[in-house]
Structure 1
Amino acid sequence: MRVGIFTREYPPLVYGGAGVHVDYLSRELAREIEVEVHCWGPQHSDGSNLHVRGAEPWAEISNGTDGKFKGALEAFSLNLTQIKALEGIDIVHTHTWYVSMAGFLAKKLYGVPFVLTTHSLEPLRAWKAEQLGSGYAMSSWMERTAILDADAVIAVSQGTKADIQKAYPDVDPNRIHVIYNGIDLAEYQKTSETKALTDHGVDPAVPYVLFVGRITRQKGVTHLVDAIRYLPAETQIVLCAGAPDTPEIATELREKVDVARKDHPRIVWIEKMVTRQETIQLYSHARVFCCPSVYEPFGIINLEAMACRAPVVASATGGIKEVVVDDKTGYLVPFDQDPVTSFPRDPEKFAKDLAKRINELLKDPEKCKRFGDAGRQRVEDIFSWTAIAHQTIDLYKRLIEQKKDTK
């Protein structure tokens, strides 16, 4: 069996959870089947079972298009490029709207089954219009067209499955399959190393609250910064936050951090995407890991933190509720969510509630250790990549057999 996997992100050009997912999944799948990855960028490699083929958007679009809709046009052009020469592919599998039309077109042109994993849904991310401008209408069209035509839609959580049924009620529920994200248990585990902390100005001797993620409305980092005013003045807060969606949100975050620093000087802002090993060190020594996302189909960063035995304070939204167990591996913080924007209706209350749970853990290191150990055990029991790859291959096999039966 040979699967064609389409993704925007692939190492070394990874900036979000979807890219992490495809990186690990493709390598795990390649232990048993042939995998051909089509991604954005200059990547090109061949292993025994893993073949990577990068490509670039059309130059006339990249160099000759102005406006925020440029990204959507680049995505569509690259989808057309990537499906020109698929040889020996038995099934295609796409990740995120950026490549969804490649799967749609491959199904039509090559007559192969089409699997689509949704890591988020455009109708539930209204703030993307801030990033994509009028291109948001195009990204929404691409996603909708593909998801309605896919032979199987993989939801990364039960919450995501419910969101799919809500956003796209025409999708047959029997075509939606829940397969969780996973984690490399050997790589993500607690370490005693602290070089990454000292290199970035973090004091290992002072307990700290950690955030890891992109600067985007979805990840809710501004809500955590708003919560800082309700934490003790000596609290060390580490914001490992880079890759802003827009200059506007980057400016907004900077202004909030500057204000917060007046009374809380121990804010360390690492304004870049750090390496995996650096992140593991940051997770390992955090007193509390905070995930204040307003929308999160899964939230792989919570798995990473739990694997490194960090207790988690996270928003009670989406797939996070299936990863973090309240009062066992951390705390879930509910908020009244606007159904259109996904933002908290009362941001101030949400900030206070985040701070309340963070404060509880800052004062109780024994509970932190108990939550951290329970988090590691939960990750080991449920979220290994080996189990997830087997579930994915089983789905591929069923779809290929169904396709044969209909011929």
Structure 2
Amino acid sequence: MTDTRSAPISPVDPVDLTARLIRCPSVTPEEGGALQLLADLLGEAGFDCVRVDRNGTPNLFARWGRKGANRTFGFNGHTDVVPVGDRAAWTRDPFGGEISEGFLWGRGATDMKSGVAAFVAAAVDFVCGTPPDGALILTITGDEEGPSKDGTVALLDWMKSRGEAMSVCLVGEPTCPDRMGEMMKIGRRGSMTVTFTAQGVQGHSAYPHRAKNPLHALVRLFDRLASAPLDEGTEHFDASTLAITTIDTGNTASNVIPARTVGRVNIRFNDAHSSRSLMDRLRAEADRVTADTGVTFAMEVDVSGESFLTPPGEFVRLVAGAVKAKTGGEPVLSTSGGTSDARFVKDHCPVVEFGLVGRTMHAVDERVPVEDIRQLKAIYSRILHDYFA
């Protein structure tokens, strides 16, 4: 961007902007008008806005300031939401953006249209008030709740191909369990799902010695996997976990030993492991059971993300300091929870996450206290002020 096109504008109300975003029915993978609404607002404020859609997935890149600036602060978030479920169970229109009883109601109110509205409002007010010595980049996707193959990943690929870069990035996902300012994320556990297909030999249940029962072998393998702790935790992470999520055979006969069965485990792992080291460990256990039973195992592995950590340092202290300044409490530096798009951003630049209380996300009657949205904007504004000070 060569210059700023905007004159100073009135402060952006993050509550009103959240309500307008909720009224955009952007259930993954539909854009629903949400990104266009943000592009119009950001464009009026002097941001260069580019739609970076890939394979039908809607994404928005917005930059204020010069490409390649020494200091470029980034925000990341998403406007897509999960389906509403049983619409009759809602007491408010899930796409109404209604304010009632001190709450803003609707799908995406918590996860995470309020977060996007708060950082967009903070960014617009900041650049139109006291323009920073540096640049500001916003990456907003419509594919966080979906496959996440062509969302933030596509934005980062596009940025790399065009020499766009963030020095640091804050993801605005909900991070607080019960009260504002309680927790921020400085890393996330890795996540992988492993599907085992056990192949044996079919036979009559009265003559088990003539068969190779894949169920016996799979149960033995799963018992070994579930009984042995993966680790005892690390400095910044709790212990890794392995959960058996399904065993499917489809055998309707009570007197037939099946030839094949399928089972699945999900592993959430800390920085003591990588997906590769865990795959090797699971393969070794499966081979031991094969040696004992003669039943073979095929493994299909889906890695959602590797574990990562942004070590406590200048950036983490800056965000924590802004949270404390606006809430009065020191946030816990956590690596708990599931995955987020931070798992992709961490390969681009240092990343942390801070956002709302996530108690009602994905729930019927999703809602957020109105004052929490305003407080979140104030925190993001303080972060920008301190970063560019």
Do these two structures clear the TM 0.5 threshold for a shared fold by scoring above it? no
Look at both structures and tell me which one has the larger radius of gyration over its CA atoms.
2
* Superposition TM-score, scaled by structure 2 size: 0.25
> Normalized per residue, which structure has more strand?
2
> Normalized per residue, which structure has more helix?
1
